[in-house]
Structure formats: C-alpha cells, structure tokens
Amino acid sequence: MKITVGIRRLFFILMYPILWFLSVVLSFYLLSIHIDFINLCLMFSIFFVFRILLLNAFHLFDVSWRFVSVGEVFDLGVALLLSELPSILVMYLVNLALNFRLIIIEFTFSTMFSATLLSLKRVYLTFRSAGGRSKGGRKAILVGDTQRAEKFLRTLEGISSPFFIEGIIATDNARKGNFIRGIKIVGTPYDLTYIVRNRLYDTIYVIGDALRINQLKNLIRECEKSNIRIRVVSIDIAYKNSSIFTVRDVDAEDLLFRGEVTISAEVIEKFINHKRVLITGAAGSIGRELGYQVAMFTPLKLVLLDIDETRVYLLSEKLKKQFPYLDIEYYVADITNEGKINRIFTKEKIDVVFHAAAYKHVPVMERFPDEAVRVNVLGTYVVAKTCAIQGVHSFILISTDKAVEPTSVMGATKRLAEKIVISMARDFPHTSFIVVRFGNVLGSRGSVIPIFNEQIKQGGPVTITHPDMERYFMTTKEAVLLVLEAGSVGKSGEIYVLDMGKPIKIVDLAKELIRLHGLEPDVDIMIKFTGKRPGEKLKEELYSNEERLSKTELEKLLRLKPNGLYNFDYESFVSKVSDALSNYDERHLRKLIQESL
C-alpha cells in the first residue's frame, strides 16, 4: 500500500503517545512509586498536549520516514525538551505532586523511544543496503564532488537498487582514502581510464556536470569498449538543503551543455508559493516541465490547460502522484475560445499565468498560416486580455528567437504575440505582462534530436538542411527554471532573453548523436544535406538591433528594452485578422501579418 502524507502523519500521531505512556509507566515502576491511575493519566495528558504541539511546530509529523537525518532526530530532542517546561508549570498549577527524578527518567525514556521510532526505517534500509552490498550485488562507482555525492548517497540509502556504490571518484579536493557515508574515495577523474579498462566496476554514475564535456566523451568511449554501463545522476532541484535526483542514461544534453543550472530558489518561491498558477499548453514539453517545477514551489493551486485531452489528463495524474498534497486541476480547452477561457479564470481566480500554448513547427506553419495566426496571435490575445480584465497579477508569454527579424509565418506570429503582450502592459498597468524569449529546447516535440535518433536507429541517413545551419540550444529544465526566474523578477512591459551560450552547428550535433550510439558519422551512418526549407534561417538571433540589451541581477537572464517600438493597435489588428480568418483569405492574412511587423 502506498503511504500517503496523511497516513504517515496519523501513524506518528498515534505511535508517539503510546511510547510516551509506556515511558510514564516504566518511570513509575523503576522508582517503585505506587501508580495512582488518575495522577498517571493526568501527567500523561499534560505531556501529550504540549509534546504534540511542539512536534507539530517542528514539522516532525511530516518527515519522510525513509529519509530521516540526524537533523530531524535533533529537532525531536529539542521539541521534547521544550515541552517539559510548560508541562512542569501546568503540573504545578494543578497541584500535581512533582517528582523531578520521575520527570527526568520519563523524559529520557520518551526521547529514546521517540528517536528510535523516528529513525527505525532509515536504520533498517541502511542495514539492508549494506547487506545487499556484501552479498555481491553489481558494483558501481560514483563520480562527483563530495557535497553532492554525500547527498546522493544519503538518498540512495532508502532505495532498493541492483547496483551498490563501492567507491567514489572525487572531482574536488577530497583526499583519496577518505570515506563519505561509509564509501571510500578511490581516486580522481584521472583514474577513470584505468578503472574502466580493468573493469573494476559494472556501472559508473556521474553526478550532473562533475566531468568536463571532453572528459565525459572520453569516458563514454572507454565504457563502450569495456562494456561498462554509464549513467547520469541529474539534480532536478536543490532547495532548502534537500535535493531530488534522477538517474538516467547519457543523452545529447550531457554532451552539449556546460553544467547544472543554478537558480534563485527563494525568489521563485516568493513568486509561486500560495498562488493560483495556470499553465497553457501544459501538455507540451515546456508546459510539462513548467508544471513539474511550479509544483516544487508549492502553489496554492496548479491549473493545467491544453487542447490535447489525453496528454493533459496523464500529466495531471502524474503530478498528483508526485505531489499528493497539492491541489491540481486540468482543463481541456482551445485558447481561442474566449467564453470558456473567461469561465475558467472566473472559477479558478488565477494569480499567475504561464502562456506556453503555441504552434512552433516552422515548415508546417508555412503550409497552414491560418492556424499559426489563430493560435499564436488570437490565442495569446484572448488569454492575455482575460488576464487584464480579471486582474491576474502576472502573465508570462513564452516566446522564441524566431520572433526576431522573422522570415517564417511561425516567427512572425510569435513576434506579433510579443507586440500584443508588451502593448497590453501599457494599457493594463495592474497586470504584469512579461515576455521570455529563448531558442531551441532539446528533446521537445519537433526538436531535431528525436528525429535524428530515429534516423540513426533506422541506419541513416541523418538528414540536415544545410551544413552551415546553426541554432541556440538549451535543456528543457534550464529553460523553464529561467522562465520562472524571469517571471519572479521581471518588470511589466519588458522582454527577457535567456543566455543560451554559443550557437551550435546542427551538423556537429548530428555527429555527436551518432557517436553517442557507438557509431562513426559518414562511416556507419551517413549525413545527407537536403537544402533549406521555406521560412528557415541559417542562423537565429535572440534580439534585434533596435532592442537595447542589459544585464539583470540574475545569472543567464538578460533584459531587452523595446524602445517604444511596440506601441501597437492590437485591437484593430485582431479585428482585421479575425475577419480574414472567417473568410479564409490567406493572401490577405499574409499581407496583414507583413504590414503589422
């Protein structure tokens, strides 16, 4: 049976008093004091009331049993100690005979029994892990700095796994031969080649960005030769001294990017905590990650909205299992349906909106410009205008680098969406209208990586439109966390650009993916150039010459000043576009788009 937060709270609330009552009885027996049942029950009741209050104040009923640490056990002792003072005072006021030896012995028993109960599961899982390791489980080695290695090993103690960490490769200055949570530091990254070639371990776990990209590439090649599995331990979030780790296989993101994104978690928490947050396009790659990361910061309610009924339902079910204490709702809706969007906002009393719903595939939108305009332009207008009318605190539009000097229908519609949102900031000062612009997201729907992977699995060729084609890339998690930062600190009427690093040539990305599969480009898998498609650029820009770029107080987040370029009569434009869509006049629609840029 799955242990929910409520069941765990009830278990501790019932078990602690049983142990305390036993402590009182044992104390009477130990001191050979005659047990007066009324006095015993009165003494227990006083202890019970104050201890329950203090343990609840220290959040000790909410502790995850399998992840109990020394800190929680210490807090338990402090809470019990603090409860003694008011308990003794009340006993004195009700004229209960005070025996300080009895109180001290009872406190000692209560603390011992309570601490044993709190740490019991953690101790059991630790010994079980040690027992499994001694029975010859598959050996693994962990690569990372000592601080994150310690956190991961502490997490691993409560997890059943066929792999057991037998050694640590420390990437910081930790001394060889030292121990971390009972695991020996056996070397530095320079020892990895020897370890792999001699097959000393079955699996290698690499924590985040512990190795430089070249080191990781070399390690992958050596592991392939020696038939050793290599896995990446990514840190989903590190906040308030807790971390959530995900163990996965190596993918393209690990070979392209510099390291884990660092965020100002306290700033984001202030923005999200106890707010009603709605995400449009929640079933897409950005929307899904937004839902997960927003949930981490405990909103008052999380509302997921998408037109894809299956994906949005599955996402809501997944998030409810991961965050059972959160209020999560989902809606199937078309963002251009003004009446329904208005009803949803009225019912849910939304505070913050992340607008991720959009059509993003450049060649497809060249074929269907009416759909690009309907969703990307009118949909943005409907959601943003509803926010303004209903007094939503913040609206964050997720835009794209293709909106800069657009050459495609998709890019043009996103540029117009930006203009609408920035212009609304002028007309509705009570709502904060912010635009966040970034480049391609690795692994998203429509991204080149899933396409390349499928082509490689089929034996090639890998098709690329042009040898000089290059793009800015960012991981989904990195993009979403920086979007949250921009929403937290951004000022209404401004555009924020994520620092995407250097652009990457698509052909280089394809070659790395081929090598990641253990193959050689242009030997095992051919690369074929097919020519530029309609609307495509060879290179993308994150901002235009007319936009003034400045730094913010946050790393990787840049601010753009529109310079008054977006004083846009969006009401008139929306009216004309709606008429063109109703008449399905594609020629007039394209003309309106071009004139409005």
Sort 343 into a burial class: Cβ within 10 Å, 0-12 / 13-18 / 19+: middle
Tally of helices (H runs) and strands (E runs) in the chain: 21, 22
Task: State the Cα torsion 485-489-495-497 to the nearest 10°.
Answer: -40
Residue 560 sits at φ, ψ, to 5 deg, of -115, 135
Who's near 214: CB < 8 A, 6+ residues apart? Answer: none
3-state secondary structure of 236: strand
HSE of 402, CA atoms in CB hemisphere, 13 A: 27
3-state secondary structure of 354: strand
**151, 275, 360, 402: the active-site residue:** 402
Q: How many residues does the chain have?
A: 597
Contact 406, 593 (CB under 8 A): no
Q: Is the dihedral of CA 89, 95, 99, 104 positive or negative?
A: negative
**Residue 215: how many CB atoms within 10 A of its CB?**
16
Beta strands in 300-413 (DSSP E): 301-306, 328-332, 352-355, 394-400
CA atoms of 449 and 84, how far apart (whole Å): 62
Strands 301-306 and 557-561 come out as unpaired
Q: Is the dihedral of CA 244, 250, 253, 256 positive or negative?
A: positive
Catalytic, 402? Answer yes
- Which residue in 225, 170, 232 sits closest to 197, CA to CA? 225
The residue type at 469:
M
**Residue 232: how many CB atoms within 10 A of its CB?**
22
CA atoms of 339 and 348, how far apart (whole Å): 14
Enter the DSSP assignment of 301: E
User: Which structure tokens are listed for 512?
Assistant: 């790395």
Q: Look at the block and give the residue holding tokens 């309907």.
A: 374
- Which residue in 358, 349, 388 sits closest to 282, CA to CA? 358
176 conformational bin, left if phi > 0, alpha if psi -120 to 50, beta if neither:
beta
CA atoms of 555 and 389, how far apart (whole Å): 34
Contact 237, 293 (CB under 8 A): yes
Catalytic residue annotation: 402
